[in-house]
Amino acid sequence: MLVILDILEQYPNIVVDDTVQPEVNETKKGIGYNGSIHVWGNLVTFLEKIDLEFFKSLQYIDPHAKEYVERLRDEPMFFVLSQNVQPIRTTETIKSAADVADEAWELRVL
């Protein structure tokens, strides 16, 4: 997901939007294209899915095992992801932005 965020930061004309119909010609527009390129997707939903899978994996690991501690080391990366998703140019709603902020806050508190 960090690669996706890097690409979106490099090319501000790429807009992730889950309300548009995917268009075949969108992928044929080159790097020099000046207009908006709409890519179907929802970064907030993707982030929430990563969060869900991360905590689900922790539930199935013995908290006293070495594997659990190793898995907890992935938590800062999730925090970085949640911070980086917010400023990306998307057509996400205010609720989605609030959800990402909530995810980041939960990680900060834990």
As a three-state string, the secondary structure of 28-87 is HCCCCCCCCEEEECCHHHHHHHHHHHHHHHHHCCCCCCHHHHHHHCCHHHHHHHHHHHCC
Please answer whether residues 44 and 92 qualify as being in contact, where contact means their C-beta atoms are separated by less than 8 angstroms: yes
Confidence of residue 89 (pLDDT cuts 50, 70, 90): very low
Specify the pLDDT at position 104. 62
Q: What is the pLDDT of residues 41-75, one digit of tens each?
A: 888 888 888 888 888 988 999 999 999 999 889 88
Whole-prediction pTM value?
0.65
So what's the pLDDT on residue 17? 79
pLDDT, position 96: 62
Question: According to the model, what pLDDT value does residue 64 have?
Answer: 92
